[in-house]
Structure 1
């Protein structure tokens, strides 16, 4: 499960590698309001967790592992706590079961993306120029512009596939975590938390709370920022394979 403004395409390469190394099927999903999934005015973790629970049941998946990055990580944690019977274990990538304020970057990205939508661009290079004042990193701009598509194939105008107005309204709550009290609910199966040591999303002071919600958790630190999987794919692959390989 991808993060905000991502899609299943982000995880295609890693999914193929994990399927090969683990000898397991890997399903990549588009969370609601992202990729090819339907748009809905409600965008929060209980709703996304319910969507994924339905996907698991519809496909008859038995004891699946949930792997999620960022927004996808909180979705995986929420589902594991909401329906532990559906899940065998989880891998949470650079997020924690706490309320945090989202970085102001995300609101800025939406402003830039709205400018592009209003401009009616026909070339990605023009969209990139419009986005540059809002985000200096070429890599992040390319990631965001991956959401552009032509709604009408007969017209050259490109628009964003994600519903920007819905996501803008959801931003205030996307840093929240729906479960507050680990004495009421916990996931007593294995959980791997992978954090980027140059990211601020999993601070040392939240580790005790992770342990209360997920008492069997393991922590792996990777020298990366928030985009752990794309920054250090080999270290990430090793951590996940080691966690999921059958134990002696």
Structure 2
């Protein structure tokens, strides 16, 4: 998600293994399995890593590899529904995405000592699942998002409209698509990020987007929301780490009391970066996560 949003209304040389899960009743999530060079130890539970809006498992490839190496744990970088190589579905909200991840955990018979890591949209998915089914995991790491409702600005709507214009224009080159995106987004890194979703279907010359633009566009009005409103009714009593980009608006100081009510054992780690802190400060992020997850001596 973009770091630009309104203040919350509440408070003014190794390759991954590419796989796909199959199950009934839920969207099946595509994933990359990143494993330690010497293999994971049976006592080391896996990590599930979730991307943000318009992202994919590819965004977290380097970090997943580093965490697998440093922690000796398998890291499953997943594509959430309507993103990457995962199937499309007309429903796109946090309860549905959390249910997909619960199905992924069940399908793979993953240990209940696992860790959830999520950035932005993936962070709210992780928080939702933690509050709904806390027994499925040992701890969570929420990256630059908080458990409350926010009002997103119009950036994403502009992105979706520009992406639709790109498809309608029948572009055959990324440079053509980038020229259209420049009309709504001046940041080259943001445009390149959005264009990671551009692909050329087999046998065709025109490029299209992997994400279902109509579905994403229709979901924008509620993707800033959080499905749980009453911290007195539901809490995650296990460890939780909230990683905040100090140049981002997603976790202002006003959010900390709310986080504490839903996640009473939470810890806060500040990184001098914007919303895309994993990409901006990867070493700082890796160190923070490893320190939090490293077994005590």
TM superposition score normalised by structure 2? 0.82
Structure 2 counterpart of 1:160: 209
Structure 2 counterpart of 1:123: 173
Structure 2 counterpart of 1:69: 119
Q: Over residues 43-63 of structure 1, what are the superposed CA-to-partner deviations in whole Å (9 max), with x where a residue is unaligned?
A: 000000000000011111102
Distance in 2, Cα, partners of 1:109 & 1:198: 22
Q: 1:24 aligns with which of 70, 73, 90?
A: 73
Residue segments in structure 1 that go unaligned for 5+ positions in a row: none
How much has 1:155 moved relative to structure 2? 1.7
Q: 1:92 aligns with which of 142, 155, 162?
A: 142
Structure 2 counterpart of 1:14: 63
Structure 1 counterpart of 2:189: 139
How much has 1:103 moved relative to structure 2? 2.9
Structure 2 counterpart of 1:227: 276
Task: Verify: 1:57 aligned to 2:57, yes or no.
Answer: no
Structure 2 counterpart of 1:39: 88
Distance in 1, Cα, partners of 2:137 & 2:230: 20
Distance in 1, Cα, partners of 2:184 & 2:163: 9
**Pairs aligned (count):** 247
Q: Secondary structure at the match of 2:242?
A: strand
Structure 2 counterpart of 1:169: 218
Distance in 1, Cα, partners of 2:295 & 2:118: 21
Distance in 1, Cα, partners of 2:131 & 2:58: 27
Structure 2 counterpart of 1:210: 259
Distance in 2, Cα, partners of 1:145 & 1:234: 25
Distance in 1, Cα, partners of 2:97 & 2:117: 14
Q: Secondary structure at the match of 1:191?
A: strand
Q: CA RMSD in A?
A: 0.6
How much has 1:27 moved relative to structure 2? 0.3
Q: Secondary structure at the match of 1:42?
A: coil
Distance in 1, Cα, partners of 2:166 & 2:151: 26
Structure 2 counterpart of 1:106: 156
Task: Verify: 1:197 aligned to 2:246, yes or no.
Answer: yes
Q: Secondary structure at the match of 2:234?
A: coil
Distance in 1, Cα, partners of 2:174 & 2:114: 38
Distance in 2, Cα, partners of 1:37 & 1:212: 33
Residue segments in structure 2 that go unaligned for 5+ positions in a row: 1-49
User: Which structure has more strand as a fraction of its residues?
Assistant: 2
Structure 1 counterpart of 2:45: none
Structure 2 counterpart of 1:245: 294
Structure 1 counterpart of 2:21: none
Distance in 1, Cα, partners of 2:294 & 2:116: 15
How much has 1:102 moved relative to structure 2? 1.6
Structure 2 counterpart of 1:4: 53
